[in-house]
Amino acid sequence: MARILILEDETESRKALEKMVRDISADITVDAAADLASARLLLGSAVSFDLFLLDVNLKPEKPGDLSGICFAEEIRRKRQYEFTPLVMVTSVSGMEMEAYRKLHCYQYVVKPYVKEDVEEVVKKVLFHLHADNRPFIMVKKNGINYKIFCDEIMFCRAIPRGVCFYLKEEQIEVPYLSIHKLLEKLPKEMFFQCHRTFVVNRNAVKYYDLVNQVIQVEGSSEWIDIGVTFKPEVRRMLHGQSQS
């Protein structure tokens, strides 16, 4: 089951969007609000929402109105909705980028509503809601919290005043995070430290060379050092793998 809150001031548009969302699946419950007061009552109620569809401009008579973004900021201030997907609805050029920058918005939909666009974004959210519980960690960069799935991490390297995550598709540098603090976040059964500056996903390892004290991971040509003090632990880990 998924519960979605829609904030849309225009009656016909709200009804159309409600129908599009409900038609996607019988497992979706929709709560619709026509104004900020109603939306705030729903937000403060006992129910919990999995997705928010928010119109940016709730006062068409007022040029540059950003009431929807203001409400989105209220949502983000609630700890339980810190990472819940927000989809902004806009017919105003440029408003979508404002939402992305300020709120780490999941996506935006442009008016008038196109059924295929609405279905696509809602189905993406439902897919992630029902996906297997993949382990993840949360890191903060530039004041924004990022969710990183552990199986996407190949290895991590300490950098000046932070850590660089080497993912399958990209690299992310996170300031003010130490290797020690990182190890506290990561699942111990998935990751091991092989050097004072390296942490490796054991499932990503392609090749161990204990003689030359290096490791290579899938998708990378870089050799990862095995520190002298970490070599016995790496050897024990390898022996344990060979016995299992």
Structural domains of the chain, count: 2
42-46, 65-69, 83-87, 136-140: segment of lowest average pLDDT: 65-69
> Are 7 and 126 found together in one domain?
yes
Residue 40 parent element (H or E): helix 36-43
Looking at the DSSP assignment, which residues form a beta bridge with residue 148? 137
Q: What are phi and psi of 118, to 5 degrees?
A: -65, -45
Cα–Cα distance measured from residue 240 to residue 238, given in angstroms and rounded to the nearest whole number = 5
| pLDDT (0 to 100) of residue 165 | 97
**Whether pLDDT at 132 is above 60:** no
Are residues 101 and 153 both part of a single domain?
no
Residue/partner pairs of 113-122 with CB below 8 Å, 24 or more apart: 113/13, 113/16, 113/17, 113/20, 113/89, 115/20, 118/17, 118/20, 118/21, 119/20, 119/24, 121/87, 122/4, 122/21, 122/24, 122/28, 122/51
Looking at per-residue pLDDT, the higher value among 88 and 41 belongs to 41
- Give residue-wise pLDDT tens across range 50-109: 999 999 888 766 766 778 888 999 998 898 888 888 888 877 655 555 555 556 666 778
Rounded mean pLDDT of 8-36? Answer: 93
| Residues 167 and 125 grouped into a single domain | no
* Cβ atoms within 10 Å, residue 152: 16
Q: Does 159 share its domain with 239?
A: yes
Note whether 12 and 118 are same-domain residues.
yes
Domain boundary at 101, 130, 159, which? 130
Would you say residue 134 has pLDDT above 80? Answer: no
pLDDT digit string, tens, across residues 221-233: 899 999 999 999 9
What's the mean pLDDT when you consider all of the chain? Answer: 87
Question: Are 151 and 45 found together in one domain?
Answer: no
Residue 234, helix vs strand vs coil = helix
Q: 116 and 161 share a domain?
A: no
Helix (H) or strand (E) holding 30: strand 28-33
Domain closes at, from 84, 110, 130: 130
Residue count of the chain, please give it. 244
Residues 107 and 19 placed together within one structural domain of the fold: yes
Specify whether 170 is located in the same domain as 213. Answer: yes
Describe the chain by its helix, strand, coil percentages, rounded to 5.
35, 30, 30
Mark which of 130, 163, 198 sits at the end of a domain.
130
* Torsion on CA atoms 61, 90, 76, 175, rounded to nearest 10: -130
Is residue 244 pLDDT above 80, yes or no? no
Q: What angle do CA 91, 8, 5 make, to 5 degrees?
A: 120
Q: Is the pTM of this model over 0.85?
A: no
> What average pLDDT does the segment 148-152 reach?
91
Q: With 60 as the cut, is the pLDDT of residue 44 above it?
A: yes
Paired sense of beta strands 198-201 and 191-195, if any: antiparallel
216-220 average pLDDT score: 92
Going by pLDDT thresholds of 50, 70 and 90, the confidence category of residue 145 is confident
Indicate whether 10 and 86 sit together in one domain.
yes
Which range marks the domain in which residue 56 is found? 2-130
CATH of the domain at 70: 3.40.50.2300
* Among 96, 115, 98, residue whose Cα is nearest residue 107: 96
Nearest-angstrom CA–CA distance, 194 and 228: 9
> Per-residue pLDDT tens for 162-209?
999 999 989 999 999 999 999 999 999 999 999 999 999 999 999 999
| CATH number of the domain enclosing 215 | 2.40.50.1020
